[in-house]
Amino acid sequence: MNIKVRKGARALGVISVVGALALTGCSSSDSGSEGGSSAGGSQELTVWHYFSADNQVKLMDDYADKFEAAHEGVEVKNVFVPYDQLNSKLISAAGAKTGPDVVVFNGADASTLALAGALAPLDEQWGAFADADQFPDSVIHTVDDSIYAVQGYVNLLGLWYNADILAEIGVEAPTTIDDLEAAMAAAKDAGKGGITLSGLPQSQGEWQAYPWLTSQGFDYTDPQAADLESGFSMVRDWVDNGWLSQESVTWDQTVPFQQFTGGNYAFAANGNWQMGAAEADASFEYGVVPLPVGDSGKVYLGGEGEGIGAHAKNPELAWQYLQETYLDAEGQLLAVSNVGSLPARADASADEAVTGNPLLKPFADSLSSAGANYPDSIVPAASVADLQITVGQAWSAAIGGQQDPAKAAESVMAALPSLLKK
């Protein structure tokens, strides 16, 4: 009898070890309460986001203050979820019929979230929204003819430059890739770094790679291995020449900008949302020009999509929150002053805060001359995430030297046919 018990206990122990191990790989940490709740007559509105930069967090706080001031008894609870955990947490939560009231997420993931049932359709609310005509179609995320999210602003990449370094090496802000490479070479000769960007093997890498790959003629509509290889080769050459640190494969988009504001790099390929960080941290003169990606080059028009959770506790209040913050002219100007985002509304984008800001103008120019849908409209909704990591990993492999540019291009080309199949 004893022997049996011990055997059983041992078997139980073994299975528990395995079970615990299996769980470890798939578990994720708790990052706050899920869903809104009412308690003691007060209402709680839960907003999930992935912002960690100070200026972006401040914008979230400002929105919470604005809404709470207008609605007595309402508490807006901003919950931070790391960028690469947000989607999976939302999808898991939807499976458990729970989730936040409001979701602020990477706009490119709208289709992933909508198809997974994590977002509520907004057709009814949008149809009744008086200011709907202020918004261009490009910021409205539609999946299977239903609206699931709207962007309050647009974010895109530009070329930040350290004006002090350019003055020291005697070059102007570049307008072509040749100019850029000449300037980086001169900066290196002067003992400075060339450029910072993100080479992380995930969607941020793909977002950063796109302008440089398209500058060499690559296009998802008619993908050619030679163009892709040319794009990877160009950036790998930057590493070999000492203009770009190979360490960029470990950087998300925040770290390279911190490196830039440290004052030792001539350029940073980074977004308009870094305006607050530049003002706070840079102790040198700086400016922005459009990314010099030539005629074929394109720059993704990104930004966060805002939607209502499929299982929101307070969907009406959530829509009210969106109307009075992200979709409101005054709210969008808060995003301009805090973060440097380009407002989506026509009236807000014509405001002096935007038109009179010399740092925003190059982004606005880039938007009209090279702006491209993010994700590319040719990519089927179900393949967006897959394509992003495939290209992100190849970008990282080329920069980090894990694969030579030809091999990196080959790996992407092998995956593209199935990913682009409708």
Partner 1 sequence: MALTMDEQPTRKASSAPALRRDKNRGRNRLYFIAPAAIFLAAFSFYPLLQLVRMSVSKVTSITLNSSWAFTGLENLRKGLEGEMPDALGRTAIFVVVVTVLGLVGGLAAAIALRGTGKWSTVLLALMVFVWALPPVVNGSVWKFLLGDAGLFNTVITGLGMDTIPFLYDQSWALMSVAFVNSWAVIPFNALVFRAAILTIPTEVFEAAQLDGARPWQEIKHIMMPAARPTLLVLTVLTVVYAFRSFDFIYVMTYGGPGTATNTLPFLGYIQAFVRYDFGLGAATSVVTVLLVLVMAFIYARSIRREESES
For partner 1, the binding residues (CB under 8 A) are 10-26, 84-85, 87-88, 91, 94-95, 112, 115-117, 199-202, 245-250, 382, 385-386, 389, 393-394, 396-403, 408
Q: Are 228 and 234 in contact (CB under 8 A)?
A: no
Tokens of 414: 């092998």
205 vs 362, beta carbon nearer partner 1: 205
Ramachandran angles phi, psi of 150, nearest 5°: -135, 145
Identity of the residue, 43 or 403, whose beta carbon is nearer to partner 1 in the bound complex: 403
Report the alpha-carbon angle 365-366-370, nearest 5. Answer: 130
DSSP characters over 230-282:
HHHHHHHHHHHTTSB-GGGGG--SHHHHHHHHTT-EEEEEEEGGGHHHHHHH-
Cβ burial of 217 (10 Å; 0-12, 13-18, 19+) is middle
Cis, bond preceding 375 (omega within 30 deg of 0)? yes
266/397 with CB nearer partner 1: 397
Least separation in angstroms between CB 119 and partner 1: 12
- Output the smallest distance, CB 268 to partner 1, in A: 16
| Residue with Cβ nearer partner 1 (117 or 217) | 117
Q: For the CB of residue 365, give the shortest distance to partner 1 in the complex, in Å.
A: 33
Our measurement of the distance from residue 409's CA atom to the centroid of its chain's CA atoms, rounded to an integer in Å, reads 24
In the complex, least distance from residue 29 CB atom to partner 1, rounded to whole angstroms: 8
Nearer to partner 1, 95 or 136 (CB): 95
Q: To the nearest whole angstrom, how small is the minimum distance from the Cβ of residue 283 to partner 1? A: 18
Query: b/e for 56-86, b at 16 or more Cβ within 10 A?
Result: bebbbebbbebbeeebeebbbbbebbebeeb
Residues across the chain: 422
Count of Cβ atoms closer than 10 Å to residue 142 Cβ: 17
- To partner 1, the closest distance from the beta carbon of 92 in angstroms equals 8
CB of 351 to partner 1, least distance (A): 38
Q: How far is the CB of 114 from partner 1 (least distance, A)?
A: 10
**405-420 and 225-240 are packed helices; what angle lies between their axes, rounded to 10 degrees?**
140
Nearer to partner 1, 4 or 41 (CB): 4
Q: What is the CA radius of gyration of the chain?
A: 23
Closer residue to partner 1 in complex, CB, 249/360 = 249
CB of 11 to partner 1, least distance (A): 8
Per-position b or e across 26-47, b if 16+ CB within 10 A of its CB: eeeeeeeebbbbeeeeebbbbb
> Of the two residues 93 and 291, which places its CB atom closer to partner 1 in the complex?
93
Q: How far apart are CA 266 and CA 194, in angstroms?
A: 5
What is the smallest separation between the CB atom of 190 and partner 1, expressed in angstroms? 19
Burial grade of 92 (CB within 10 A; 0-12, 13-18, 19 or more): middle
Measured from the CB of residue 14, what is the shortest distance to partner 1 in angstroms?
A: 5
For partner 1, give the closer residue by CB, 361 or 407: 407
Nearer to partner 1, 114 or 299 (CB): 114
Taking the least distance from each CB to partner 1, the nearer of 218 and 395 is 395
DSSP state of 155: B
- DSSP states along 35-84: S--EETTEEEEEEEE---SHHHHHHHHHHHHHHHHHSTTEEEEEEE--HH
The tokens for 400 are 């980090």
**Residues with Cβ within 8 Å of residue 407, at least 6 apart in sequence:** 397
